[in-house]
């Protein structure tokens, strides 16, 4: 079961499809193996980048079972839903299938501090004993969650054990949360998203690792490891080597297709198919990714990686 | 099967719950009977006001089957979903269960004219032969659908047979659509929502009836009937008699709870329970509804109704 | 100077233009006289319905001076602006010209409770001694202001003397604010907007009157007077008589053009010109307004009005 | 006068303030000199990053006059305003003061393709002979402008001579616009924003340069020069050297304060003051900027810069 001590790299998994849009189960297995080999200490499935919204209820459950069966590391399942009945159904099924916890993003209808707190009170009640991750991703959810609200949820809901941090800008928020836990607030795990764009700064502010899906997940493992070993300059060298690609993949909307293209190029998944709505990359975009990858490889070789 | 000739009153059905939040199946049956007795020529279930987003996939299908089995009039099922896989699953199951058609609202992520058109191209492909209703409800969806876009969808998608019109303001849009069909565009059915606030003006602009869930659905049937009989003054008298209540029920967010309260007061459903998020009415609100209902009854008696 | 005891009807004034879009100064004078004759206890200018955003700084100041010079009742000036420098400039000039107070709506960039409170702290500092009205109008501003935030602002900012209430739904908010002042919170004036759609219910919940621009401002004065005299049934009769028109004028976007059309029909302003963006009424819309007005006149005659 | 041939680097200028929030005129002069020395072929003032919305009308005009008087390169003035009267006033005054053109972003109220086109028709009419820049910045404006809409505006409005491109993702949009001008559409200048995050890719897609305010504007001049000289590898080396800082400064909301901090550190402006709302940097943030700057300096030295 997931708890507040979780750290390292929980990779956000894509959902591989065949060219006709069906779930590509063989690629699911290969992807799980790849992520773990790249240093994942956990996996998060059915998140926004897992195209969760585009799956039927049956497909979602199928993926949970497949990944849990294959994985040697804990699995977190995204269970955000328009309503609590659907959330409860997927959460219960996932926990029964062996997931370590679930993740919930706030719906766009929430406007005030009090509405957000109430929503997570309801969420915690619906989820029962399942530990959950609060996903704070305003760029996509359009819900701004103040630090005080996160702290309130942490105080009120013992099953909230982790923050998926991807507010932007969000570095001072990490500092504020850590300062609060220094003064007695329960300390939960903070894993950071945003494609890894601020990973090193986030670690230095007190984060416990990354939860994101950059197509070179070894970057996250390497940066976190170097940071944890106190080798900050080394961490910066690695981080900077990947930076042009991190930036490029972080383009909203397009990012998932870039990520799948790279994973397919790397042989992890068989196809770079994205379900509709969501299109294929242009030839020019693919060429840009290729050029960035080639230069990145040279820089990494220079670092002995 | 639903087609472009649909007219009259398609009542938007609520989803009745017991006080503990379970679906209240007996009330479902009673509600179907009540709506038909009140003049419904069709029913629309699992819409926004049917709390569709708060139901599990299993519950949704159960309601479809129950209502179809009970009803003597055609049933439209709301199948709006975050993605096409879930939409397809519910639509296929609904049509197999005997629904007459389905309804799809645009997701809030659509920003441009072209994106909306493409979304409905995809929708039509996903739905196959099932006739569908385009729901145009910007106040809730945050997607503004220009007349030209509706006409493009109508031209491109033969299975789009109806517009659920609830743009606000939207009267000139009805006139524009009817002018276009006068010049050769395919004429689809236009049924109007917005709680019936503009029903008479909508009919006079060329709408074919109402698709909304005002808790006195006989109002819609009476206004439409008077209009169709050419008794416009009579239609206005009836419409005005209900106006204070129509206005009061149209309060967003609160409206559903008011509607359920009234239906419970009228003995149609057993409980006025709204699933979370969505709260109970305050005592002051209930008193206001009661006061409006009492005066309304007097006015209606004066009209011989 | 405006203070917490303000009550009655503060009419939201339009800004009259000539057909070529210039400010129509003669109509400004006539309009001021008309509003006061219709029972206004104050006027609010340069609000959203005053097309404030479409005026140059010079025009805005000219209107303030003209209205203040003409009026025998206190004037509130809308000074909402993208930034504090422009707000301060217009507020200072307005107060020097003899305005009684100013009104400030929250900018759409505010997302959290704390951001709203801070914004009004800054506002109060910028405005100095000028009393101000907090405009709570989520449908237009897209900022939801919880009751607790209003109470915090009232506590922190002694110059906040009035709430322009137009949350929707908002009746329970009035009750909550009045309950709080019953328990020791400073009691400020609450005048209600939303085109008067809920005026009677608002008065019964504890509001002090109306601040809105319905084109028959005598309705507000009559309803408030009947309410204050304890003649609630009389107030309802009057309110209901205007209801179909209130509802029709409340159409967002279109409402201002309808209001100006009616004011021009009534001889108050010379032209119904709305500045771009914002178009002319269709012939069908004008006919609908005319039909509503004719029936309204009959109902009012029946009430001896 | 600005025309379609504009290229190179139009730096987005900040507005320097003294610690008490007044415009710091000496810093304005020094900043103009610095930008030009750093390779600017033009300057853009009163943009979003120039805190235009926080200035009074009087201050805005003062800045225009000061910058025009000081500068040896063409000046573009941001004239976006809530309404056309204010836009016209500032545009007319700016052109009379010697500006080369103006820039207009779409207001957030625009929802459909047709509304955007109409808005720019009105804009062109209001601006008269003044050449204008269409600012396409959805992350801030919340208005998505399709390529087809840009092309329509370019066709309809001869005075639209430039696109400030900062859609995100937006690279394929540049390609589409250039493909269209290859097929007969009028070719306008495309200068790119977004803090320079994609500058090299943008140039390779057909952009004419940059219009952004990264605190090391020499980066833009160097990358554009290397690109124009066909030295793409050199351009990539320079671009990558700045990348960690580009990424860091691109944090929305925070970015302006970071930019001003760096400009103050570099001695360009006397103070890093940002007007309210908009706060000071935390000590941790300043330390992060310092660390990034130190490493950047080493990398640039390695490139002989």
Q: Which residues of A touch D247 (CB under 8 A)?
A: 197-198, 243, 246-247
**What distance in Å separates residue B273's CA from the closest CA in chain C?**
19
Residue % of chain C over a pLDDT of 70: 100
Across the interface, do A111 and C148 touch by the CB < 8 Å criterion?
A: no
Q: Which bin fits B46, alpha (ψ -120 to 50), beta or left (φ > 0)?
A: left
Q: Which residues of D touch A285 (CB under 8 A)?
A: 171-172
Within C9-112, residue ranges assigned H as helices are 25-37, 57-70, 84-97
Across the interface, do C111 and A148 touch by the CB < 8 Å criterion?
A: no
CATH number, domain at D99? 3.20.20.70
**What distance in Å separates residue A254's CA from the closest CA in chain D?**
7
Q: What are phi and psi of B127, to 5 degrees?
A: -80, -15
Higher pLDDT, B68 or C279: B68
CA angle D136, D140, D146 (to 5 degrees): 35
Of D236, D243, D251, the CB nearest to A243: D243
For A125, other C-beta atoms within 10 Å of its C-beta total 13
Across the interface, do D251 and A285 touch by the CB < 8 Å criterion?
A: no
Across the interface, do B53 and A83 touch by the CB < 8 Å criterion?
A: yes
**What distance in Å separates residue A206's CA from the closest CA in chain B?**
34
Strand-pairing partners, residue A12, are A44
Q: Which residues of D touch A240 (CB under 8 A)?
A: 243-244, 295
Interface mutation target, options D277, D278, D279, chain C, most CBs of C under 10 Å: D277
* Contact between A117 and A152 (Cβ < 8 Å): yes
Q: Which residues of A touch D248 (CB under 8 A)?
A: 198, 201
Across the interface, do D113 and B114 touch by the CB < 8 Å criterion?
A: yes
Across the interface, do B119 and A58 touch by the CB < 8 Å criterion?
A: no
- In which residue ranges of chain A is pLDDT below 70? none
Chains that touch A (3 or more CB pairs under 8 A): B, C, D
Strand-pair category, D209-210 with D132-136: unpaired
Residue of D nearest to A238 (CA): D244
Q: Which residues of A touch B (CB under 8 A)?
A: 51, 53-59, 82-86, 88-89, 108-109, 115, 118-119, 122, 275-277
H helix or E strand, kind and range, residue C42: strand C42-45
H helix or E strand, kind and range, residue C209: strand C209-210
- In three-state secondary structure terms, A238 is helix
Residue B17 lies in a domain: yes
Interface mutation target, options A175, A197, A244, chain D, most CBs of D under 10 Å: A244
> What is the spatial distance between Cα B274 and Cα D264, in angstroms, rounded to a whole number?
57
Q: Which bin fits C134, alpha (ψ -120 to 50), beta or left (φ > 0)?
A: beta
**What distance in Å separates residue B123's CA from the closest CA in chain A?**
10
Q: What is the pLDDT of residues B248-264, one digit of tens each?
A: 999 998 999 999 999 99
* Contact between A112 and C111 (Cβ < 8 Å): no
Of B198, B246, B252, the CB nearest to C168: B252
ipTM of the complex: 0.96
Residue of C nearest to A108 (CA): C111
The alpha carbons of chain A give a radius of gyration, in whole angstroms, of 18
Chains that touch C (3 or more CB pairs under 8 A): A, B, D
Q: What is the pLDDT of residues A291-300, one digit of tens each?
A: 999 999 999 9
Of D114, D144, D148, the CB nearest to B111: D144
Across the interface, do A169 and D239 touch by the CB < 8 Å criterion?
A: no
Across the interface, do A243 and D239 touch by the CB < 8 Å criterion?
A: no
pLDDT in the model for residue C221:
98
Interface mutation target, options C108, C138, C144, C169, chain B, most CBs of B under 10 Å: C169
Q: Which residues of C touch A149 (CB under 8 A)?
A: 112
Q: Which residues of C touch B204 (CB under 8 A)?
A: 288
* Mean pLDDT value of segment C264-275: 97
pLDDT in the model for residue D126:
97
Measure Cα distances from D150 to A61, B109, B183, D104, D112 in Å: 44, 21, 30, 13, 13
Residue A2 lies in a domain: no
pLDDT in the model for residue D301:
98
Residue D248 lies in a domain: no
Q: How confident is the model at residue B279 (pLDDT cuts 50, 70, 90)?
A: confident
Averaged in consecutive runs of 10 residues, what is the pLDDT profile of chain D (305 residues)? 98 97 98 98 95 94 98 98 94 98 96 97 98 96 97 98 97 98 97 98 98 98 98 98 98 95 98 90 98 98 96
Q: What is the pLDDT of residues D183-202, one digit of tens each?
A: 999 999 999 999 999 999 99
Q: Over chain C, what is the mean pLDDT?
A: 97
* Contact between D40 and D74 (Cβ < 8 Å): no
pLDDT in the model for residue D107:
96
**What distance in Å separates residue D189's CA from the closest CA in chain A?**
21
The residue segments making up the domain with residue D72 are 8-231
Would you say residue C277 has pLDDT above 90? no
Q: Which bin fits C278, alpha (ψ -120 to 50), beta or left (φ > 0)?
A: left
> What is the spatial distance between Cα A74 and Cα B182, in angstroms, rounded to a whole number?
62
pLDDT in the model for residue B277:
83
Of B57, B83, B277, the CB nearest to A122: B277
Residue of D nearest to C83 (CA): D54
pLDDT in the model for residue D48:
85
pLDDT in the model for residue B91:
98
Residue % of chain B over a pLDDT of 90: 97
Residue B115 lies in a domain: yes
Of A172, A243, A284, the CB nearest to D284: A172
**What distance in Å separates residue A111's CA from the closest CA in chain C?**
6
Number of domains in chain D: 1
Residue C294 lies in a domain: no
Q: What is the pLDDT of residues C110-155, one digit of tens each?
A: 999 999 999 999 999 999 999 999 999 999 999 999 999 999 999 9
Q: Which residues of C touch D (CB under 8 A)?
A: 51, 53-59, 82-86, 88-89, 108-109, 115, 118-119, 122, 275-277
Would you say residue B278 has pLDDT above 90? no
Q: Is the peptide bond before B165 cis (omega within 30 degrees of 0)?
A: no
> What is the spatial distance between Cα C160 and Cα C188, in angstroms, rounded to a whole number?
8
Would you say residue C279 has pLDDT above 80? no
Residue of A nearest to B115 (CA): A277
Q: DSSP for D46-106, please give it.
A: SSGGGTGGGS-HHHHHHHHHHHHHH-SS-EEEE---SSHHHHHHHHHHHHHHT-SEEEEPP
Q: Which residues of D touch A254 (CB under 8 A)?
A: 169
Q: What is the pLDDT of residues B2-24, one digit of tens each?
A: 999 999 999 999 999 999 999 99
Q: Which residues of C touch A114 (CB under 8 A)?
A: 113, 146, 148
Q: What is the pLDDT of residues B204-248, one digit of tens each?
A: 999 999 999 999 999 999 999 999 999 999 999 999 999 999 999
**What distance in Å separates residue D143's CA from the closest CA in chain C?**
14
Residue B136: closest CA among B144, B148, B125:
B144
Across the interface, do C89 and D51 touch by the CB < 8 Å criterion?
A: no
Residue C111 lies in a domain: yes
**What distance in Å separates residue B41's CA from the closest CA in chain A?**
30
* Mean pLDDT value of segment C177-203: 98
pLDDT in the model for residue A277:
83
Residue A158 lies in a domain: yes
pLDDT in the model for residue D278:
80
Residue D249 lies in a domain: no
Polymer length of chain A: 305
């Amino acid at each position: 079961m997931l708890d507040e001590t979780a750290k390292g790299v929980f990779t956000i998994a894509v959902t591989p499809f065949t060219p006709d849009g069906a779930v590509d189960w063989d690629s699911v297995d290969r992807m799980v193996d790849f992520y773990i080999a790249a240093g994942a200490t956990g996996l998060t499935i059915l998140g926004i980048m897992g195209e969760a919204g585009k799956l039927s209820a049956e497909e979602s459950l199928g993926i949970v079972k497949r990944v849990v069966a294959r994985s040697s590391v804990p699995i977190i399942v995204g269970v955000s839903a328009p309503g609590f009945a659907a959330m409860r159904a997927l959460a219960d099924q996932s926990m029964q299938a062996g997931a370590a916890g679930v993740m919930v993003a706030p719906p766009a209808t929430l406007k005030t501090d009090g509405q957000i707190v109430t929503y997570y009170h309801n969420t915690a009640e619906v989820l029962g004993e399942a530990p959950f991750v609060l996903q704070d991703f305003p760029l996509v959810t359009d819900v701004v969650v103040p630090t005080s609200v996160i702290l309130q949820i942490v105080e009120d809901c013992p099953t909230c054990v982790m923050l998926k941090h991807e507010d932007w800008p969000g570095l001072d928020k990490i500092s504020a949360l850590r300062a609060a836990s220094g003064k007695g607030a329960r300390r939960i795990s903070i894993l950071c998203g945003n494609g890894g764009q601020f990973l090193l700064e986030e670690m230095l502010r007190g984060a416990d690792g990354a939860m994101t899906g950059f197509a070179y997940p070894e970057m996250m493992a390497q940066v976190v490891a170097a940071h944890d070993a106190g080798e900050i300059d080394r961490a910066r060298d690695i981080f900077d080597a990947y930076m042009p690609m991190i930036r490029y993949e972080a383009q909203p909307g397009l990012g998932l297709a870039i990520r799948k293209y790279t994973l397919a190029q790397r042989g992890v998944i068989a196809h770079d198919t994205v379900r509709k709505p969501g299109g294929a990359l242009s030839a020019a975009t693919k060429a840009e990714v290729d050029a960035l990858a080639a230069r990145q490889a040279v820089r990494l070789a220079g670092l002995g990686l």
